[in-house]
Amino acid sequence: MAATTRLQKELEIKSKQALATTTDPLERLRAACLARGAQGIKGLSILFRIMDDDKSNKLNVEEFKKGVDEYGLNFSKAEIADLFRLFDIDQSGQIDYDEFLRRLRPPMNSFRLDLIAKAFAKLDKNHDGQITVDDLRGVYIVKHHPKYMNGEWSEDQVLRQFLDCFDYGKHKDGIVTREEFIDYYSGVSASVDNDMYFDLMMRNSWKI
């Protein structure tokens, strides 16, 4: 399921503490994202696409600086340059979307990634690499949702609201891709220090 309110709060507190104490530009950028909750990484990935004016799926250093500034981060020119070099893995002078997310996501070990992959596979019933309302029918049970119980919402409305937990802002399209699912849980994972607790949370949530 989506992150609990307690986990979200722990993530935000932990990230704000890191933002106040760390001097590493990458850690500060990551902490600034996660301070906005588990959807913070997703939010910055959408910002990447907004910054990409020519839709080339790449950013030059000026586009990157503009985007970081718009996200509300007061980084110096030197910090921006250092960050750009970190993200520009292939040293092409541009950052592509995959390079960006690979660096920005909080590190996760193979144990956690495997649990996330199993949860996604269970939800993705038709194995097309994305989760929709149709995939969720029979997997996510709505009968105990208060708005379904009182007749205010249909099953589809409850399922769509659930999908929106993994999406962000105005860009909610009712489709959750594998990358979006990993983005979301990379944020949740950052608030969970113990692998066994993360395992318990994922298995209880998705019955995997």
- pLDDT band (50, 70, 90) for residue 5: low
| pLDDT of residue 48 exceeding 90 | no
Percent of residues, the chain, with pLDDT higher than 90: 16
| Phi, psi of 176, deg, nearest 5 | -115, 115
pLDDT of residue 109: 92
Q: Tally the domains of the chain.
A: 2
Mean confidence (pLDDT) of the chain = 82
| pLDDT of residue 66 exceeding 70 | yes
Q: Which residue matches tokens 């589809």? A: 156
Which has more confidence, 57 or 44? 57
| pLDDT of residue 1 exceeding 60 | no
Q: What's the pTM?
A: 0.65
Q: Are 182 and 107 in contact (CB under 8 A)?
A: no
| pLDDT of residue 120 exceeding 60 | yes
* Residue where a domain terminates, one of 70, 104, 138: 104
pLDDT tens-digit profile of 141-187?
A: 888 888 888 999 999 999 998 888 886 555 678 889 898 888 888 87
CATH number at residue 170: 1.10.238.10
* Residue where a domain terminates, one of 71, 104, 137: 104
- pLDDT band (50, 70, 90) for residue 131: very high
Q: Which two tokens stand for residue 33?
A: 């994202």
Contacts of 19 (CB under 8 A, 6+ apart): 28, 31, 32, 35
pLDDT of residue 35: 77
Asked whether residue 94 falls in the same domain as residue 179, the answer is no
Q: How far is CA 181 from CA 75, 84, 142, in A?
A: 29, 25, 20
Q: Which two tokens stand for residue 44?
A: 């910055």
pLDDT tens-digit profile of 76-103?
A: 888 888 889 888 888 889 998 777 877 8
Comparing C-alpha atoms, which of 182, 165, 171, 172 is closest to residue 129? 182
Domain extent for 159? 110-206
Asked whether residue 132 falls in the same domain as residue 202, the answer is yes
Q: Quick one: average pLDDT of 46-55?
A: 75
* Residue where a domain terminates, one of 104, 131, 162: 104
